[in-house]
Structure 1
């Protein structure tokens, strides 16, 4: 999804200045371009190699502990290694990813031959979209990036008639969004959809709460243990009841 921008460029003569002659902060025109450039100033790149390709993932706002969606989290790399092993057939499969964040899992899924739609909140798309565009050039099925808030206006989301996989990595971080997340997974799934949720077990009470809610709506077919230097990273394979 291309980012549309408006030409709001002003000359230095037109820009309001303070009493000291400096440009006033209040006079800055906050367009999508200026926001993107501000985010770039707080970024760092991480390099990976999957499916025979070098992948560069840009993280934004790396010093902000509240910036969850623009950072790369533990499970993503481990999830990608597992997908690359070929345990799930992905070639030409229709896949939708929830909470794509920086995009690594969706990118690797695309490189493995799947037709992927990556989703996240609108304010995360600024970072997600360029990562996807740079790292998926030449793939068989060019991936799509779409905004999606869990449990909100789901009928407006341009979903496919059927998804072979609904996937997500490190989505279990805020108990307030669990209900919306489960509603969204149900909306995107049918009897022939495989659901793959990977996450790092960090907060036992919170994680157990999600799993209890999840297993009321879905059948867990298999729990895959994904070793990650001794940390508890797991992948749940499930289907609708």
Structure 2
């Protein structure tokens, strides 16, 4: 896939700085990508959290769900991670463009871009990721069953999931994080910035799962 092909004539760019890296992100606003053509608060808050907590992803195998513009996944590569950025097929060109614009060629071998539709494609992927990332992926109750199925597939004994969500502006997000997610996973609140909340999610032990039945 070449990012130079069929570039959106209505493309807009934003510039953000995290962890000493200046990120120039293109948003393909004329390509009918919907919400994926924007940089949303939860992604920025998660990047800021990585900076504030001095995250180092060196040696970590990372999967990002719903990458959108790729801002979180790109920063994770720049912080040392081996990152697979995923989204619906039509979003991938936008991610590819931003990867090529922000990740040096010498580090690009640690970035992969691949289609993943929640609840459908997850079993095509391995389950040995150390970290799963998701920013602003909790936005519609119609998507929750597929998202939960995908999270359950990837969340193994040693997997850590970092989720950043806007609980006030996204339909069903509060119930997802307060009721649905804790029934299936251990969910720890980490940080709040305005309406954006970050959670650390891990797999329940067999004893914990039995206690929830």
Same fold (TM over 0.5): yes
Counting helix residues as a fraction of each chain, which structure ranks higher?
Answer: 2
Contact map agreement 2:168 2:174 (CA 8 A) in 1 = no
Match of 1:206 in 2: 172
Computing the radius of gyration from Cα coordinates, the structure with the larger value is 1
Distance in 2, matches of 1:234 and 1:219, equals 16
Match of 1:236 in 2: 199
Q: Secondary structure at the match of 1:68?
A: helix
Which consecutive unaligned segments of at least 5 residues does structure 1 have? 5-31
CA 1:179–1:136 in 2, change beyond 3 Å: closer, same or farther?
same
Distance in 1, matches of 2:59 and 2:157, equals 19
CA 1:121–1:140 in 2, change beyond 3 Å: closer, same or farther?
closer
- Give the CA RMSD over aligned residues: 2.3
Q: Secondary structure at the match of 1:210?
A: helix
- Residues 25-36 of structure 1: matches in 2 within 5 Å? 33=5, 36=6
Match of 1:27 in 2: none
Match of 1:97 in 2: 64
Contact map agreement 1:100 1:120 (CA 8 A) in 2 = yes
Question: If the length of structure 2 is used for normalisation, what is the TM-score?
Answer: 0.86
CA 1:102–1:140 in 2, change beyond 3 Å: closer, same or farther?
closer
The answer to whether residue 109 in structure 2 is matched with residue 146 in structure 1 is: no
In the TM superposition, residue 151 of structure 1 has moved relative to its aligned partner by: 0.3
Contact map agreement 2:9 2:30 (CA 8 A) in 1 = no
Distance in 1, matches of 2:145 and 2:31, equals 29
CA 1:130–1:78 in 2, change beyond 3 Å: closer, same or farther?
same
Contact map agreement 1:79 1:226 (CA 8 A) in 2 = no
Match of 2:210 in 1: none
Aligned residue-pair number: 202
Distance in 2, matches of 1:78 and 1:208, equals 17
4+ residue segments displaced more than 6 Å: none
Which consecutive unaligned segments of at least 5 residues does structure 2 have? 205-213
Match of 1:176 in 2: 142
- Superposed CA deviations along residues 106-164 of structure 1, whole A, max 9, x for unmatched, are 011111101111000001112111111221113275210110000013222x33x5111
Distance in 2, matches of 1:123 and 1:205, equals 24
Distance in 2, matches of 1:204 and 1:139, equals 35
